[in-house]
Amino acid sequence: MEINLVSDTVTRPGHEMLQQMFRAKVGDDVYKQDPTVVQLEETVADLFGMEAALFFPSGTMANQTAIKLHTNPGDELICDKWSHVFNYEGGGIAFNSGVSSQLIDGDRGMITANQVLDAINPPDFYHSPLTSLVCIENTTNKGGGACYDLQTLMEISEVCKTNKLGYHLDGARLWNALVAKKQHPKQFGSMFDTISVCLSKGLGAPVGSLLLGKQEHINKAIRIRKVFGGGMRQAGYLAAAGLYALQNNVSRLEEDHRRARQLGNFLQQLPWVDKVEPVETNILIFSLKPQYSEAALMEKLKQKSIFISSLGKGKLRIVTHLDYKEVMHNYVIETLQKLTF
């Protein structure tokens, strides 16, 4: 039994999801003739109360499309220093859009309205880049699955409106935040200009993300997706998996959160653990005491068929997910309890 806790992207479609994929009605989505893709886009747009949505093969492509929508070459966007768009999208901000990043030192990947306000360059000062976009990540990846409060997001929204800035949400794990904080998708749809949501992380679909926004944004996004090579033909087979995930795998995210919290509480009691970051959703980040090696820990766990990941600088990450069952959970706790260096 291999237990992969490296990420929630490692899940595989179950039997019921596969059956829904097999039964999907499909067409050529490049011509917007795939009925299942259209159904998925309309379903998610309606869920968030936004005008339209567009299906993408990856969250990175959806985010990069949003950045290109809201900016011109030479502009600058504001984001947290740990944000996914800056750290884990291959330098796409600069490569795809010719845009620089103003990085904010937030709290566990979360920034405030005052920090955004302080980071905006004067629009009439042509020596500095023109600030045109604010990117938020919820939940935060490197921040350990932390969730924004709605009040903070609303305050940042007001700053963006006042200063005529675009407001984009990287919601790759937004489903986790919605469940953990008991929030409604429409609360986010009313605040942001664009939102990206992922189907292949906590929801367990094999592929796919969506970009949501006004119809005019999505009309432009179709062209950008084409330029990025993201047009797909009979993509309804993938969209069907996303529809199944939305119908069946959202509320069960609380199971992932519960197991992550239990692991966090247990790790805090172990003599070789220095610190466990607050656990709000399905991501658990912890660090070892200085005399212990993270490589040694990962190797010992690997020998027990348990795989986790290193974030560097002494931090390790565990991510719970759909394929991490209770029997695996009990085995991991038992293994950690017996572990010696």
* 214-240 per-position pLDDT tens digit: 999 999 999 999 999 999 999 999 999
How far apart are the C-alpha atoms of 223 and 221, rounded to whole Å?
5
Question: CATH no. for residue 306?
Answer: 3.90.1150.10
238 shares its domain with 273: no
Centroid of chain to Cα 55? 15
Express each pLDDT in 96-110 by its tens digit.
999 999 999 999 999
Looking at residue 340, its pLDDT comes to: 84
Q: Which positions ≥6 away from 339 have C-beta within 8 Å? A: 270, 272, 297, 300, 301
Q: Per-residue confidence at 313, pLDDT binned at 50, 70, 90?
A: confident
Q: How far is CA 302 from CA 221, 226, 264, 294, 306, in A?
A: 42, 41, 19, 12, 5
User: Domain boundary at 229, 248, 267, which?
Assistant: 248
Q: Is the pLDDT of residue 124 over 80?
A: yes
CATH number at residue 38: 3.40.640.10
Contact in structure between 159 and 136 (CB atoms under 8 Å):
no
Asked if residue 199 and residue 73 are part of one domain, the reply reads: yes
pLDDT at 196 over 90: yes
d(CA 3, CA 5): 6
Q: Work out the average pLDDT over 304-320.
A: 93
Same domain, residue pair 294 and 167: no
Specify the residue for token string 């903070």: 152
Q: Do 49 and 121 belong to one domain? A: yes
Least confident of 71-80, 148-157, 248-257, 289-298: 289-298
Sign, Cα dihedral of 66, 196, 224, 218: negative
What confidence tier does 136 reach under pLDDT thresholds 50, 70, 90?
A: very high
Residue of 237, 243, 312, 252 whose CA lies nearest to 282: 252
Out of 217, 248, 279, a domain closes at 248
Cβ neighbours for 77, distance < 8 A, ≥ 6 positions apart: 67, 70, 71, 85, 93, 99, 100, 101, 102, 131, 132, 133, 134, 135
DSSP state of 130: P
Q: Are residues 220 and 313 in the same domain?
A: no
* pTM reported for the whole predicted model: 0.97
Contacts of 330 (CB under 8 A, 6+ apart): none
Is the same domain home to 132 and 171?
yes
Give residue 8's pLDDT.
97
**pLDDT averaged over the chain?**
97
Q: Confirm if 276 and 334 have CB atoms less than 8 A apart.
A: no
Of the three residues 207, 227, 248, the one that is the final residue of a domain is 248
pLDDT, position 1: 84
Which band of pLDDT confidence, cut at 50, 70 and 90, is reported for residue 341?
Answer: confident
* pLDDT given at position 312: 81
Q: Spell out the alpha helix ranges (H) of 35-173.
A: 35-48, 59-70, 84-87, 92-97, 113-119, 150-162
Q: Which residues is 163 bridged to in the sheet?
A: none
Q: Kindly tell me if the per-residue pLDDT of 330 is higher than 90.
A: yes
Q: Quick one: what percent of the chain has pLDDT higher than 90?
A: 97
Same domain, 262 and 132: no
Report d(CA 158, CA 165) in Å as an integer: 10
Closest to 169 (Cα-Cα) out of 143, 150, 139, 192? 192
CA distance 5 to 309: 8
Residues 287-302, mean pLDDT to the nearest whole number: 93
The CA dihedral of 293, 299, 304, 309, to the nearest 10 degrees, is: 80
Q: How far is CA 276 from CA 8, 32, 316, in A?
A: 19, 47, 10
For CA atoms 13, 249, 52, 180, the dihedral sign is: negative
Please report the pLDDT score of residue 314 as a whole number.
79
Q: Residue 77 above 80 pLDDT?
A: yes
Q: What is the average per-residue pLDDT within 309-336?
A: 95
The angle at the Cα of 167, spanning 285 to 251, to the nearest 5 degrees, equals 50
87/216 same-domain check = yes
Number of structural domains in the chain: 2
Q: How confident is the model at residue 142 (pLDDT cuts 50, 70, 90)?
A: very high
The residue segments making up the domain with residue 190 are: 15-248
Q: Is pLDDT of 292 > 80? A: yes
- Helices 236-248 and 15-22, interaxial angle, to 10°? 140
Do 241 and 121 belong together in one domain? yes
State how far the alpha carbon of 89 is from the alpha carbons of 63, 92, 201, 337, in Å: 9, 6, 16, 37
Same domain, 39 and 185: yes
pLDDT in tens, 235-260: 999 999 999 999 999 999 999 999 99
Cα distance between residue 10 and residue 121, in whole Å: 41
Whether residue 229 is found in the same domain as residue 320: no
The reply to whether 263 and 167 lie within a common domain is no
